[in-house]
Amino acid sequence: MMYIPTVCFVSLLVLLACGGCKVTDNWSSSAAISSKQTGHWAIVIHGGAGMLDKNMPESDKREYRESLERSLTVGESILKAGGTSLDAVEAAVRVLEDDPRFNAGKGAVLTRDGTCELDASIMDGRTLKCGAAAGVKTVKNPISFARRIMQETPHILFAGEGAERLAAQMNIERVDPAYFITAKRREQLERKMQEIEAAKKIAASAASRSTHDYYPTGTVGCVALDLAGNIAAATSTGGMTAKMPGRVGDSPIIGAGCYANNLTLGVSCTGTGEQFIRHAIAHELSSLVRYQRCSLKEAARIVLTERLDPDDGGLIAIDREGNIVMSTTTGCMPAASADWRGNRKFQMWVDQ
């Protein structure tokens, strides 16, 4: 006799708890996993959530836009020609890794030792195969290395010394570590180290220091849906300015800074990596769509404002219908998107 009212009450609670998203247990996985020609393609890229000055010179704004345009166009032309989402995300991210404006590949931010340690990951939403590299110091395009790891090894994540050795064995293009370092990043490191020293003097202990004060900006990422209905995601970064050597952020952690699943969506994150790892943000976004039947937009709102703290960062994502989000709580995240309907968007600053 008590059974029916109890079930109703629990269902109501779950509905309320998920902020209006519908709950279902009727999600057909096999249909979603298999490829189907949809005629729909979509792509979105980001150049990192952070704090770019709104009063930056117009020429700088134009250059940002041109950089994003170059990356978007490369990925878009692959998709329009019937190429795979994996090829599109890898190619688009490579363009941004080679562009010193962004914190990935050339132009990556520096550790407090003045070195670059690069992280990247890639995921195939059709097979759930993924690959990642953490803390690499000589790999010119970490995203391509991540893809080779995915395709050519039985493992997912390689780090440090073993990763360098594997890159050499695979004949991955490698460069002198000095290649990645730019004057702008040296200046940022000096400024950051002065701030850390000043904070120490006023007795701000390492434990009480905010995790937001590491200039998180410039990580890159791309998500794409191809004509076969397959989703892929990729993220690449130098991490956070003045990070401790050996620190690994969310970008190479599948389910934190990157995730793709044909059943739900693909996502690439940017921001304070520790927070994205702690809350498994990329997978959480997928779970909200999969289990709570949230719309992509609502799921993004929930992870950014109810899981993360204000200013933690942002994300880009595409769901299996081709809906796109590019959202951040930092106020700024250079990003661009395009899709089969002819929509083309660019953004730098976002109203919160």
Residue 105 has phi, psi (to 5 degrees) of 55, -135
Closer CB to ligand ASP, 121 or 264, in the complex = 121
Closer CB to ligand ASP, 249 or 322, in the complex = 249
Residue 301, classified by CB atoms within 10 Å of its CB into exposed (0-12), middle (13-18) or buried (19+), is middle
Classify 237 as helix, strand or coil: strand
User: Residue 127: which residues within 8 A CB-CB, separation 6 or more?
Assistant: none
The catalytically annotated residue of 219, 235, 272, 329 is: 219
Shortest Cβ 96–ligand ASP spacing (Å): 12
Q: Is 182 designated active site?
A: no
Contact 185, 108 (CB under 8 A): yes
Closer CB to ligand ASP, 131 or 216, in the complex = 216
Residue 149 to residue 154: CA distance in whole angstroms: 8
How many C-beta atoms surround the C-beta of residue 22 within 10 A? Answer: 10
Closer CB to ligand ASP, 226 or 312, in the complex = 312
Shortest Cβ 271–ligand ASP spacing (Å): 5
Shortest Cβ 256–ligand ASP spacing (Å): 9
Residue 186 has phi, psi (to 5 degrees) of -60, -45
Shortest Cβ 314–ligand ASP spacing (Å): 9
Classify 147 as helix, strand or coil: helix
The length of the chain is 352
Contact 231, 320 (CB under 8 A): yes
Closer CB to ligand ASP, 41 or 102, in the complex = 102
Shortest Cβ 26–ligand ASP spacing (Å): 35
Shortest Cβ 105–ligand ASP spacing (Å): 14
Closer CB to ligand ASP, 100 or 273, in the complex = 273
User: Hey, which residues does 337 pair with through a beta bridge?
Assistant: 44, 345
- Helices (H) and strands (E) in the chain — how many of each? 10, 12
Q: What is the DSSP string of 153-217?
A: SS-SEEEHHHHHHHHHHTT--B--GGGG--HHHHHHHHHHHHHHHHHHHTT--GGGS-TT-S---
Residue 285 to residue 317: CA distance in whole angstroms: 9
Shortest Cβ 188–ligand ASP spacing (Å): 12
Residue 65 to residue 345: CA distance in whole angstroms: 11
Q: Which residues form the interface with ligand ASP (CB under 6 A)?
A: 48, 216-217, 219, 237, 239-240, 249-251, 257, 270-271, 273
How far CA 197 is from CA of 176, 205, 206, 209, in Å, comes to 30, 11, 11, 12
The pair of three-digit structure tokens given for residue 77, joined into one six-digit string: 């032309």
For the CA atoms of 335, 338, 342, 347, the dihedral, rounded to the nearest 10 degrees, stands at 0
Positions annotated as catalytic residues are: 219
